[in-house]
Structure 1
Amino acid sequence: MAQPAPSRRPPQLRTPHTRPTLGDELIVTPQRRLRSPHQGAPSMANTCHITVDTAHDLGPLDHSWNFIGYDECNYTYMPEGRQLLARFGTLSDAPYYVRTHFMFCTGSCNGTQKFGSTNVYRENAQGDPIYDFTYYDLILDAILTSGNKPFVELGFMPQALADPAYRNQPSLAGMDVYREVGWTYPPADYRKWHDFILAVARHLAGRYGASEIASWYFELWNEPDICYWSGTAEDYCTLYDFTEHALHEALPDARLSGPACTGIFAHNGARDLMRAFLRHCREGRNACTGATGACLDFITFHAKGSVFPADVTAAKAVPSVGSLVHQVRFGLELAREEGFDDLDVVVSEADPDGWSAGGIADNPNMRYRNTEYYASYVAAAYSRIRDLSREFGVHVRPLAWAFMFPQEECFAGTRTFATQGIAKPVFNLFAMLARMGSHGLPLRSDGAPDPACDRRLIPDFDEAAPSHYTGAGAQTAIDGFASRADDGSLRTLVYAHCDDIDEDGVTDVELRFDGLGKGRYRVVQYRIDDCHSNAHAVWLAQGSPKYPDDRKYATIKQADGLETIGEPLTLDVSESGRPATLWFVMPAHAVSLVRVERL
């Protein structure tokens, strides 16, 4: 039987007693299914049934996703950095909280991959401090003027404060040993570090005001359980004691967190360090004051869905949503075990994999970052983290560790929101999320992910992020969450995601709204898939130019915004409470935002 021709016309709405018309190929029925122009014969998967209960309010919807970050602090104020920050700052749920590394480091103040510097602290020949906030302020000002807020990472160690033992380390690349490892060392004198933090905090208070800074987030260090910290767990706790005392002396209402360690598994150094840190904050001897414990305002740790090493001949591997979410669960369980289950949590790096600066030229599996797969992965992961937040009764906020790299080849596959100023599909996911409403509504899906599938597919599931997981046999999960906006409109986000990047099946979706009042409604569906809100697909069609000329660039750029499927539809509800249903098709990697508003 011949398949229907590909089309981008809108899906159709119907009430439950209206039969779909087989002559219209865009009304999905078991006999006739819409397919993508890039797919072969469509899958005969069962219909996924999703129901939104519009009559019951779940309370305020926390826009927990407005956190982003990146390594290279000096990229913040570059033209490309300012441009991207401005795109986030103009989203309707801004501000976004911006975290970046290397803010205290000593160097040239020229941004490079995986390093940055501000020279905020130096010393004269007598060992007296010299403070220069020029670049430090430039970074924070760029964040604030873009309409966003700083998530201030207090790190790493200025060269003049670092324990001079680092100088005994051999240079691995014939470079400055401080740049290679010195910034990872504890201070030679913790009192000097205390005075440094106090000076920074007082400078911030004078420049931005204590009331403004109370809305920021602060975090001590990054991943002290691995190579970012050359001290012990006890040294980190000592650093926290002196940091917390100094910061809160100048800024009593500042929110400070730790330990920002890597993924939490059943048995690993991150778990050990986080447990030791939480116990120290609860009952340890404070190294700065001699009292018991230390003030902890919220908790941070990281989660990654895979590890992709540098290997240009790497066999197929994909990220695992389940592995990332599993790490978040472990972290929340650990916080509960240690008596901190009442504190908010920021997963201050929550990403599909662990190497932001690597691209396709380093490992071909990085290709996913350019595509709709990255968007559907983040939507799936964030949706499941929301489920954990409700289960544990705490706010859990994932931070997307991604930004941009200036002057790179177009769609180089680095973990970025934009390439050469062109927004990737994953940015459009955040544009969708920003449109979600202020109050949650119940949503049920019979295509929701089965966590047991995650564990079954990945060997050593509890021990490490996977590096050779292919996604073969992974479920195509279809789920989401629903909301009501302040203007009364309904906003429902639906994602379809399969860990297997090569899965190209499609699924019929029946999205039913229960409890609508009598009247006429306007329905708009935004979509990210292989041919909507997808500049990468247009870039491929333009011949994959590394540096597009003006004509090709304009064509690609035109496709980098959030798109709708067809024209808005009108829905008539003849009587209050009568269900209304939207039928559409989801490829295995896609995200839809359905907005329903009364006319």
Structure 2
Amino acid sequence: MIKHFLTCCLCVSFTITTIKAQETFVPQKSAEVKIMLDKPVGDMYPMWAWFGYDEPNYTYMKDGKKLLTELAALSPVPVYVRAHSLLVSGDGTAALKWGSTNAYTEDSNGNPIYNWKIVDSIFDTYIKRGMKPLAQIGFMPQAMSTNPEPYKHFWKPGDPYSDILTGWAYPPKDYNKWAELVYQWVKHSVERYGKKEVESWYWEVWNEPNGYWKGTMEEFFKLYDYSADAVKRALPTAKIGGLNIAGTRSENAQKWTNAFIQHCISGTNYATGKKGSPLDAFLFHAKGNPKLVDGIVRMDMSPQLKDISTGFKIASSYPETKNLPIIIGESDPEGCAACGMATNPQNAYRNGTMYSSYTAASFARKYLLADKYNVNFLGAVSWSFEFENQPWFYGFRDLATNGVDKPVLNVFRMFGKMSGKRVAVQSSRMTPLDAIVENSVRGEQSEIGALASADKKTAAIMLWNYHDLDQLETAESVQVSISGIKAKKVTLTHYTIDSLHSNSYEVWKKMDSPQNPTAEQVTALEKAGQLETIGNPQKLNVKEGALEINISLPRQAVSLLKLDW
């Protein structure tokens, strides 16, 4: 075997209790990881290339456009984007958990007035970058709401979450007017972007009707029927789905989900009077549950994975849905992107590498759960974008702060370098699927796991050192044995996210955490936010299709070993 030793330095993760890391270390433990490039287990499809956010008006603002450009560059196929509030009344001024387009108003006689200017500016931003909308049909325009006052909320972090539920969350006064609004929107989209383009989008009705909807279950089904019928009248080949339920694993959510599917299969359609309703994609949500324990963040992947497992299981249980495209409409470590760590200290995982390692470990399990239930898994929307003109590293769940990329975004850059087939992996320290679904990673040892892919002339191995507790430990030695390489020589590039690489947050802290960084500091932060390598690419000899690579992997770090030949 050819042995190549690469080292990286100890990771510094943010916790409420400040823990100082030593700058040098001697690896104390070891893990063995085996990668079998000649044993495919499934496609390396880009289900990770989906993103979403509450505040649609950020889309066309300075940092929003910058981040969307970067997201569009992640994947060789189009990235999908989902945003709330695309039909909400207002002047387009952005605020936390708020957005508006004023797409629908009425004149003094109650006649509809359609204005697509802001909606177009949002979708134009996507289309210009080769992205696709996961177009959310919602929420209720003020002129159409059965309870229009109060309408705009003024929620801020620390306020009761229920304060956001104002007039936009209610059913329409007139379902025919609602249907006509949806019809006109889809018709306008076809006229503006072309039939072929809009056929490639997904449309979906509302968001989390077991929380964001102030009507009954049957009233939501009625809203869905009228919306789906309108979409199909405007473009018969359009794809529409639902229901983006929250807390999928809960008894209440399962009741909603099964009732919705059964309604779409055999219920009486409120709009047409016929049997059933169109359902071209099945959507649900999945969230984890971090807590603060003795001043330290403790993540919990189990609720999120149970949500996913439940959603996949429900979809696979009906002949009519088992082959439908499945989209996890929001898939995150917890449920409130705009709740910063000042008011929600358990969210302190968001700035550093804790978020990175959680993302790597959880997305790997999404592939495995899709394999287990044999479902048509299309995408998982990371409800994480950016918050325009907010304090630096405030602790929002975002991918960038003030135009500077956070460590977590580099995990998606790593995913973008993986293609072809997923291949078999074995790790002496990887938690079995059923165990991590049930208990997350709570033992004395952290998890050292792997996800690997192989294509015609390239392979990629993602490795992570994850534990639910955001504590620092001595970096660990990882022996990576690779077999099935169809080349005699390869070029190895080692990308990593740790305290010294791909980590704008650590660089910002070393600058004494400036809230008004200089232009020179911003440039340095932007550079630190990009995906970095350890050393330069190296040429390695392969013997009998095999190679051994040894690296040191700090707690909460993520590495990608990229082989090219």
The TM-score normalised by the length of structure 2 is 0.91
What is the Cα deviation at residue 66 of structure 1?
0.6
Which consecutive segments of 4 or more residues in structure 1 shift more than 4 A?
Answer: 33-37, 39-43, 166-173, 177-180, 451-458
* Corresponding residue for residue 57 of structure 2: 74
Question: CA, structure 1 residues 422+494, in 2 after alignment: closer, same or farther (shift >3 Å)?
Answer: same
* Corresponding residue for residue 563 of structure 1: 532
User: Is the contact made by 2:306 and 2:437 (CA closer than 8 Å) also made in structure 1?
Assistant: no
Question: CA, structure 1 residues 569+233, in 2 after alignment: closer, same or farther (shift >3 Å)?
Answer: same
Q: Which aligned pairs between 1:141-152 and structure 2 lie closer than 5 A?
A: 141-152=124-135
* Corresponding residue for residue 479 of structure 2: 510
Which string of whole-angstrom CA distances, capped at 9 and with x for unpartnered residues, describes residues 61-116 of structure 1?
Answer: 21111100000001100111111101112224242111000000001211111011
User: Is the contact made by 1:307 and 1:354 (CA closer than 8 Å) also made in structure 2?
Assistant: no
Q: Which aligned pairs between 1:266-345 and structure 2 lie closer than 5 A?
A: 266-267=250-251, 269-306=252-289, 315-339=295-319, 340-345=321-326
2:237 is the counterpart of 1:262: no
> Partner of 1:193: helix, strand, or coil?
helix
Question: CA, structure 1 residues 358+35, in 2 after alignment: closer, same or farther (shift >3 Å)?
Answer: closer
* Corresponding residue for residue 463 of structure 1: none
2:173 is the counterpart of 1:188: yes
2:114 is the counterpart of 1:127: no
Q: Which aligned pairs between 1:131-530 and structure 2 lie closer than 5 A?
A: 131-163=114-146, 165-167=147-149, 181-226=166-211, 228-267=212-251, 269-306=252-289, 315-339=295-319, 340-396=321-377, 397-451=379-433, 453-454=435-436, 473=443, 475-486=445-456, 488-517=457-486, 519-530=488-499
Distance 1:179 1:124 in 2: 27
Distance 2:474 2:511 in 1: 26
> Partner of 1:95: helix, strand, or coil?
coil
> Partner of 1:56: helix, strand, or coil?
strand
Which deviates further from its counterpart, 316-325 or 519-528?
316-325
* Corresponding residue for residue 8 of structure 1: none
User: Is the contact made by 1:104 and 1:117 (CA closer than 8 Å) also made in structure 2?
Assistant: yes
Distance 1:35 1:423 in 2: 21
User: Is the contact made by 2:9 and 2:554 (CA closer than 8 Å) also made in structure 1?
Assistant: no
Distance 1:529 1:122 in 2: 50
Question: CA, structure 1 residues 457+515, in 2 after alignment: closer, same or farther (shift >3 Å)?
Answer: closer
> Partner of 1:225: helix, strand, or coil?
coil
> Partner of 2:298: helix, strand, or coil?
coil
> Partner of 2:142: helix, strand, or coil?
coil
Tell which structure's C-alpha radius of gyration is larger. 1
Question: CA, structure 1 residues 93+162, in 2 after alignment: closer, same or farther (shift >3 Å)?
Answer: same
Which deviates further from its counterpart, 277-286 or 564-573?
564-573
User: Is the contact made by 1:332 and 1:392 (CA closer than 8 Å) also made in structure 2?
Assistant: yes
Question: CA, structure 1 residues 307+97, in 2 after alignment: closer, same or farther (shift >3 Å)?
Answer: same
User: Is the contact made by 2:386 and 2:399 (CA closer than 8 Å) also made in structure 1?
Assistant: yes
What is the Cα deviation at residue 544 of structure 1?
1.0
Structure 2: gaps of 5 or more residues: 13-20, 156-161
Larger RCO (CA within 8 A; separation ≥ 6): 2
Which string of whole-angstrom CA distances, capped at 9 and with x for unpartnered residues, describes residues 159-194 of structure 1?
Answer: 11111x454999998xxx998511000111111111
Letter in 1 for 2:217: A
Distance 1:36 1:169 in 2: 46
What is the Cα deviation at residue 266 of structure 1?
4.3
Structure 1: gaps of 5 or more residues: 1-13, 21-25, 459-470
Question: CA, structure 1 residues 36+591, in 2 after alignment: closer, same or farther (shift >3 Å)?
Answer: closer
* Corresponding residue for residue 462 of structure 1: none
Distance 2:362 2:57 in 1: 29
User: Is the contact made by 1:457 and 1:474 (CA closer than 8 Å) also made in structure 2?
Assistant: no
User: Is the contact made by 1:323 and 1:454 (CA closer than 8 Å) also made in structure 2?
Assistant: no
What is the Cα deviation at residue 444 of structure 1?
2.2
RMSD: 2.6
User: Is the contact made by 2:494 and 2:561 (CA closer than 8 Å) also made in structure 1?
Assistant: yes
The TM-score normalised by the length of structure 1 is 0.86
Letter in 2 for 1:424: K
What is the Cα deviation at residue 155 of structure 1?
0.3
User: Is the contact made by 1:223 and 1:262 (CA closer than 8 Å) also made in structure 2?
Assistant: yes
Distance 2:427 2:269 in 1: 49
Distance 2:153 2:61 in 1: 30
Question: CA, structure 1 residues 288+475, in 2 after alignment: closer, same or farther (shift >3 Å)?
Answer: farther
Q: How many residues align?
A: 548
